[in-house]
Amino acid sequence: MNTKHPAIEMRGITKSFPGVKALKNVSFSAHCGEVHALAGENGAGKSTLMKILSGIYRPDGGSVVVNGEERHFTHPLAAIRAGIAVIYQEFSLLPERTVAQNIFLGREPTRRGLIDHKAMNDEARRALALFGSAHRIEPSTVVADLDVASQQLVEIAKAVSLEAKVIVMDEPTAALNEAECEVLFGLVDTLKKSGVAIVYITHRMPEITRLANRVTVLKDGEVAVRFDHVPEPEAIVRAMVGRDLGDFYAEPAAPQEIGDVVLSVHNAGNERLKNVSFELRAGEIVGFSGLQGAGRVALAQAIFGLSPFTEGEITLSGKPARFTSPREAIRAGVGLLPGDRKAEALVLMQSVVDNGMLTSRALSGLSGNANATPFVSAEAMEKLLRELDVRAGSFAQDIKALSGGNQQKAIVARWLALAPRLLIFIEPTRGIDVNAKAGIYHLMRDLARKGTAIMMVSSDLPEVLGVSDRVLVMRNGELVAAFSRGASEADVMLAATGEEAVAA
Amino acid sequence: MNKATLLRRPAWRMEQCAPALLLGLAVLIYVAIALSLGLTRFLTPEATVSILNRSVALGITAVGQTFTILVGSIDLSVAHLISASAVVSSAIMNGDPAMMVPAVVAVLVMGAVVGTLNGLLITRLDVNPLIATLGMALIIQGCLASFYGRFDGSVPDAFQYFAYGEVLGLPVSLIVLALLVLGAWIVLRFTRFGSNIYSVGGNRDTARAAGINTTRVVMASHIICSLCAALAGLYLASRLKSGSPWIGTEGAYDLESIAVVVIGGTILSGGKGGIWGTVAGVIIFSLIDSIFNLAGIDAFAKQVMRGIIIVAAVAFYAVRSKRIVA
Amino acid sequence: MIQETVGSAKTRGVASIGRLPKINPVFFVLAALLVAITFSNPNFIEPTGYMNFLKRAAPLAILAAGQIYVIVSGGFDLSAGSLITLTVVGSSMLLDNSADATWWVIAVMYAVGLAVGVVNGLVVSYLRVPSLIATLGMMITLNGAAFMWSSGSPRGYLPETFRFFGRASIQGIPLIQFLPVALLVLLVVGFILFWLMHRTNLGRMLHALGDNPRAAQMSGVPIERVRIIAFVASSLSAVTAGILLGGFAGVSTDVGVGYELQAITACVIGGAQLLGGRGSVPASIAGALTLTAIFTLLNFIGLPKPTRDVVQGLILIAAVVLATYRRNRAGGT
């Protein structure tokens, strides 16, 4: 199937963002009829590279060659027209429109100038039929009514129906269970046979082994290694991490460092959680793993009072703690660092100090002096920010201008000022430079050493395993497994996808 | 988990039935009051037509407003544009039937210009639609007030056919409104442009990534909205024989057109809803008006209750959302 | 005052290293306009000239200082103008030309203002109606109430005791000769609102709420309470403005018409970020003075009064366009 040109070739791509060099001289290609796996840790530059390919970003240097012709995409549409379709992690579906309308977004079939709804639904049904009869999705269903996995399939159907020559799949299995993954893998095989070039982004080794023809590993914005065959998983992992793990993650807690029970959750549940029971102790970091939508974030939000528990017994340091609002939870000594910092934590137009002091001010009297709350004064906050090594031209500048890692540290400072008993981190290093990650990990460990109980929700499995003293795994709103330190990725994945359940 | 994975939430959604439920409720109250007061003559087909006919201006405006709200924008300049349209048309016609066509053309051109300006401000200069159209409202109001006085006149009797004429026992104005609604439905449901309106309103970035010219879609929606407002102004001039610079604001067409669209289940952030909901919203408002009349509530109290009802109606939809609004 | 406005988005009392304070451009614009007015009318530098100017501008300045609370919190208060009308009409109905009732009537009016603000805040916070619709609805309702109360035809003038606040001046003050009570009210109200917005926890929470309501909520900000307070601040300032206006003008059902938009325009001229997160009380007051100065100038030039609306509309749009342009150039999001 291979033609003499690769379907796409990216040569010497360089891209910088303010404060971050995202890509350094990266070359990458994909031939028709092959699956080229692109691996790397979060923040290694995979998504940036693909956004350049799809015309969302423009590279600072280097060129994109499609079918032997150099192209400069200035608009995502130009890339689509050139036959490149990208399926992103964050969905680009319109929730209030039907499946068919989404698949044919902006290119609805018409008859005599009017949209032919019947033809559109038929076409959509044909595209969706690729998934086999097990996953029947009605083209006239409103997308919001579909579950996450089905939405992912619609997303793929959309790319397929574009008749793209190159399909980029960005961690397509993040939300899928084992059976659904198999459907996807079958589809990838079909597409490959029909001569489509597939770029498959993942950091899951079994998927690479199962699907890929070639593997490229990105690390810190550079090509760490390229394999023209599929190597042993260990080789890929070594290239991805490429550093001394011992130093990257902080030392785990020694047994004597783990103290009394801080949070106890017993038979708790709400509409998204069932019968959850666990304990968190002072001084330990407990990682929560599971697939997207397994209920980890829902659990964190329930503890924090954002979407409260409706049943069960929850105590914080022995006192009843079924909170119904974040404010109540914060008063009792719970803090939460959300995964989507920009949407849920930062007040971007305010200064670094303002961001750090927000919660202290919120818990103080309305007419109290904003620069001298009972919890922390502006001077003390500045000192704290300096101690956390938050790098900013001035702490009076807008937090918008800071890098992700520094923003995250400022949010940590927000909670430190209140000395919480329990601190919940959701995706603590999402969107953070690889070099800054270690700083966050050590910061979390220091907090635990000082007696804080830490709950960490993360989709980054190496991170969960590297940071946590214990790992709890969730599936379908339930806690399904617990591992002490030293569990393998495979163990956790198995529990998270529920493979035993399928086998049973 | 091998079976079909579908339907995370129930397919039956409260919001979809709400306009119909509200409409039913309004009809019920109206009928109940009419019966209890023994006013059965208000329940005849003629009475129904007259109830509908009461809201033609609001209906025409609301059809246009549906487009701007669906596309994720809003137009607060419609009330002033209605006044301007009524004043300008009666001034140009000035009792002369020969000037009817030029006047109508002039007014529609004015509507198109205002819509284009609104659209340009919002898309090209990136001005918040609320502010852009509020600013436009001020400008129109100022122009009107500056020139009014030099501009008086009335429409010729022939033009009043629009408001008072009848075809097959149905008022012409109502037929015009019905055709407008039908046209809007076809555009929204069966054209790519209509589909694009929903896409742009749903998520502008997604629409842009799919190759939709979002600027053009927003512009076109604003032009449609302003043209409808201009048409509503023509209708009012025809009904009242002459325009006055306050008929638009007096009728609170800006707020009311938004309110009926929202009551019809179109969400304010755009991308979801449709024209039939708006029609239900308009009929609900005419019924409320008729109920007040039946019950003999005085004009000022009516205004007070309208304000409350509008907010309550929007709240009816908004209160279940978890989103924080400002 | 000037330096304070600069830092509206920054923390005061915290050293900003190596950064010159940026002065809000509205102050230069205002200064230039005042110079222009002086050229076209030299009497303006006499105390009677500028004091009358300040007196006339006081109601709008107070209204803008209240409106900025709602704008910073992320909303709009379009009911302010109708609340002015209701204050004036309601006072005249309650007073019924009897002077000794002044104080309790004022108390009643503030209670009405408080209620209006609380209702606006509750409707937005708990019924989740966007403030634009909620306050427009309130506007219709209050206008209707003013008509109902006065049966559509309010009469004459308010008694002298009530008109004191808008009209009277304190005589015999050195340097400036006299000080209009309206200006004194502006200074007091302006200072209180400035202090609350730029010195207290409430002020910082208002900014956080308007900037990112979700983040504010998750940081423990009592968002409903803070939002209600913002609407109450706006409503109480509207009542204050109404009391002053009752002193200048006669009683009619259109005293307050258009004031809400003028106040929003003033805030925008003062550099406020629409939809929340940034704004300053002194800059909004300066914005109100700027708008009044522009109207004064137009008046001197001899433009008819209705053109004001056109000019105001153009200024409103231009100010927003300019702000967007500057933000984009500064490389913001």
Domain coordinates of chain C in residue numbers? 24-35+46-328
C58 — pLDDT class (breaks 50, 70, 90) = very high
A284 — pLDDT class (breaks 50, 70, 90) = very high
C132 touches chain B (CB under 8 A): yes
A244 — pLDDT class (breaks 50, 70, 90) = low
C2 — pLDDT class (breaks 50, 70, 90) = very low
B10 — pLDDT class (breaks 50, 70, 90) = very low
Question: C24-35+46-328 in CATH: which number?
Answer: 1.10.3470
Euclidean distance between CA atoms A66 and B237, whole angstroms? 61
Query: Do the chains contact at A365 and C201, CB–CB below 8 Å?
Result: yes
Minimum distance, in Å, between the CA of residue C215 and any CA atom of chain A:
4
Is residue B11's pLDDT more than 50?
Answer: no
State residue B107's pLDDT score: 95
**pLDDT tens-digit map of B153-188:** 788 888 888 888 888 888 899 999 999 999 999 999
DSSP A82: T
* C317 contact residues in B (CB cutoff 8 A): 121, 125, 127, 131-132, 135-136
C75 touches chain B (CB under 8 A): yes
Is residue C18's pLDDT more than 50?
Answer: no
Average confidence (pLDDT) over C193-199: 96
Query: Among B96-100, B150-154, C221-225, which stretch is predicted with the lowest mean pLDDT?
Result: B150-154
| CB-nearest partner of B315 from C129, C138, C308 | C129
**pLDDT tens-digit map of B230-278:** 999 999 999 888 878 888 887 788 888 998 998 888 888 888 888 999 9
Domain A247-333+420-503: give its CATH architecture: 3-Layer(aba) Sandwich (3.40)
- What count of other Cβ atoms lies within 10 Å of the Cβ of residue B90? 28
Euclidean distance between CA atoms C245 and C263, whole angstroms? 14
Euclidean distance between CA atoms A199 and A196, whole angstroms? 10
Minimum distance, in Å, between the CA of residue A287 and any CA atom of chain B:
26
**pLDDT tens-digit map of A46-70:** 888 888 888 888 889 888 998 888 8
Give me C36's structure tokens: 């222009």
A5 — pLDDT class (breaks 50, 70, 90) = confident
C268 touches chain B (CB under 8 A): yes
DSSP A243: S
* A378 contact residues in C (CB cutoff 8 A): 11, 13-14
Domain A8-243: give its CATH architecture: 3-Layer(aba) Sandwich (3.40)
Average confidence (pLDDT) over A394-421: 90
By CA distance, what is A77's nearest residue in B? Answer: B211
Average confidence (pLDDT) over A417-427: 94
Q: What does pLDDT average to over chain B?
A: 86
A245 — pLDDT class (breaks 50, 70, 90) = low
* A168 contact residues in B (CB cutoff 8 A): none
Average confidence (pLDDT) over C289-295: 93
Most confident of A190-204, A274-288, B21-35: A274-288
Is residue B3's pLDDT more than 50?
Answer: no
**pLDDT tens-digit map of A459-492:** 888 889 989 999 999 988 999 999 998 888 788 8
B20-24: long-range contacts, CB 8 A cutoff, minimum separation 24: B20/B280, B22/B263, B22/B280, B22/B284, B22/B313, B22/B316, B23/B280, B23/B283, B23/B284, B23/B287
Query: Do the chains contact at A77 and B7, CB–CB below 8 Å?
Result: no
Question: For the whole model, what pTM was predicted?
Answer: 0.86
CB A328 within 8 A of CB A314: no
| CB-nearest partner of C17 from A364, A379, A394 | A394
Query: Among A427-436, B59-68, C167-176, which stretch is predicted with the lowest mean pLDDT?
Result: A427-436
State residue A50's pLDDT score: 87
Query: Among A245-259, B128-142, C186-200, which stretch is predicted with the lowest mean pLDDT?
Result: A245-259
Average confidence (pLDDT) over C4-19: 38
State residue A157's pLDDT score: 85
A6 vs A37, more confident: A37
Query: Best residue in B2, B3, B5 to probe A by mutation, most A CBs within 10 Å?
Result: B5
* C12 contact residues in A (CB cutoff 8 A): 371
By CA distance, what is B16's nearest residue in A? Answer: A96
* B323 contact residues in C (CB cutoff 8 A): 128
Query: Do the chains contact at C14 and A353, CB–CB below 8 Å?
Result: yes
B109 — pLDDT class (breaks 50, 70, 90) = very high
Euclidean distance between CA atoms B68 and B200, whole angstroms? 11
State residue C312's pLDDT score: 87
Euclidean distance between CA atoms A486 and A470, whole angstroms? 9
A89 — pLDDT class (breaks 50, 70, 90) = low
By CA distance, what is B270's nearest residue in A? Answer: A96
Burial class (CB in 10 A: 0-12, 13-18, 19+), A163: exposed
* C273 contact residues in A (CB cutoff 8 A): 349
Residues of chain C with pLDDT > 90, as a percent, come to 52
**pLDDT tens-digit map of A228-237:** 888 887 777 7
Query: Do the chains contact at A345 and C219, CB–CB below 8 Å?
Result: yes
Minimum distance, in Å, between the CA of residue C258 and any CA atom of chain B:
9
Query: Do the chains contact at A366 and C14, CB–CB below 8 Å?
Result: no
| CB-nearest partner of A351 from C9, C205, C214 | C9
* A417 contact residues in C (CB cutoff 8 A): none
A433 — pLDDT class (breaks 50, 70, 90) = low
State residue A19's pLDDT score: 60
CATH 3.40.50.300 residue window(s) in chain A: 8-243, 247-333+420-503
State residue A237's pLDDT score: 73
CB B34 within 8 A of CB B294: yes
Residue B3's closest CA among C144, A136, C241?
A136
* C22 contact residues in A (CB cutoff 8 A): none
Average confidence (pLDDT) over A86-111: 84
Query: Among A202-206, B183-187, B223-227, which stretch is predicted with the lowest mean pLDDT?
Result: A202-206
State residue A308's pLDDT score: 93
Euclidean distance between CA atoms A362 and C218, whole angstroms? 11
Q: What does pLDDT average to over chain C?
A: 86
The ipTM is: 0.85
Give me B10's structure tokens: 């129930």
State residue A4's pLDDT score: 58
H-helix or E-strand spanning residue C171: strand C169-173
By CA distance, what is C224's nearest residue in B? Answer: B324
Q: Which residues of C57-91 are buried (b: 16+ CB within 10 A; e: fewer)?
A: bbbbbbbbbbbbbbbbbbbbbbbbbbbbbbbbbbb
By DSSP bridging, strand A470-475 and strand A285-289 are parallel
State residue A243's pLDDT score: 58
Give me C229's structure tokens: 């307070």
A134 touches chain B (CB under 8 A): yes
C264 — pLDDT class (breaks 50, 70, 90) = very high
State residue B149's pLDDT score: 64
